A = this chain, B = another copy of it.
Amino acid sequence: MRILLTNDDGIYAPGLRALRKELQKIGDVIVVAPATEQSAVGHSITLLTPLLVQEVFDDEQLLGWAVEGRPADCVKLALMELLPEPPDLIVSGLNAGSNAGINVLYSGTVAAAIEGAFFQRTSIAVSLEYTKPKLDFPRAADLARCVIEQILAHEPATGTLFNVNIPSLDKGPIRGIRTAAQNVAPYVEKFDRRVDPRGRVYFWTAPGLVCPDPHPDTDVTALAEGFITVTPLQFNLTHGAELEQMSKWRWQL
């Protein structure tokens, strides 16, 4: 099995390194990842600046390519220019920080997997809940491989897209794996307002985004309860029920 591995934390991130090691147990892994950290870039792509690409080696062996671009750029370039053959599987991660609820839309990690699905490749995003700067990526990567192997054992149709979140490993033992819908309840956010030495106003996005009232049986709640969550995703944003309603509208020009 040929596996393309990417992420949004950058090609030298420890999460990617740990996941690569685990994925090598189930296939040939080639990495195409951003040269630098690209967190919260969502589904950005690079249109107006060139995408510099550099081969990266791990000892003597080709690790893959570092791209001065976004996670979604990496997947596009990998599939269209860099890989000699299309991969059987695209994996994005292992991200330092969960990507559940509406954060799925901000996530560069998930966007890379969605980009893979655009190209009709089976794609899996994997993230680890963040609790402290030093995360146990090797253990999380082992759990990630365990989940990925089970997904593949069900032989999903090509182009199927999954979002996997692993709860913090500091909260106690993992309670199991649960299939869950994406939570869409709002988050509470804060900005920190400051004034610079020149009198200009600026804001910092404060950390600690919380979802005070998540919907039950969603990725956010299952993750909080200590389960690994698996959410199948799609990228058709059409609101079906609303579309049905609107088909009765009479438009005038």
Contact surface of A with B, Cβ cutoff 8 Å: 39-48, 50-54, 72-73, 76-77, 80-81, 102, 104-106, 111, 114, 118-120, 143, 146-147, 150, 154, 160-161, 163, 174, 176-179, 181-182, 184, 186-187, 189-191, 193-194, 196, 200-205, 228, 230-239, 242-243, 246-247, 249, 251-253
Contact = CB atoms under 8 A, between A and B. Distances in A.
B50 A40 contact: no
A214 to B, nearest CB: 13
B238 A191 contact: no
A22 to B, nearest CB: 15
A50 B177 CA distance: 38
Given A42-B42, A44-B44, A176-B251, A53 B104 contact: no
Nearest to A179: B246
Contacts of A196: 52
B237 A104 contact: yes
Contact of A41 (B42, B189, B242): B42
Contacts of A182: 236-238
Contacts of A102: 118, 235
Number of copies: 2
A28 to B, nearest CB: 23
A172 to B, nearest CB: 14
A230 B246 contact: yes
A238 to B, nearest CB: 4
B232 A238 contact: yes
A47 B242 contact: no
Contacts of A232: 238-239, 242-243, 246
B186 A118 contact: yes
A145 B120 CA distance: 37
A204 B42 CA distance: 20
B184 A235 contact: yes
The 3 closest A-B pairs by CB, nearest first: A42-B43, A232-B242, A177-B251
A39 to B, nearest CB: 6
8 contacts: A41-B44, A46-B205, A52-B201, A52-B202, A80-B189, A81-B193, A154-B249, A176-B253
Contacts of A41: 41-42, 44
A50 B194 contact: yes
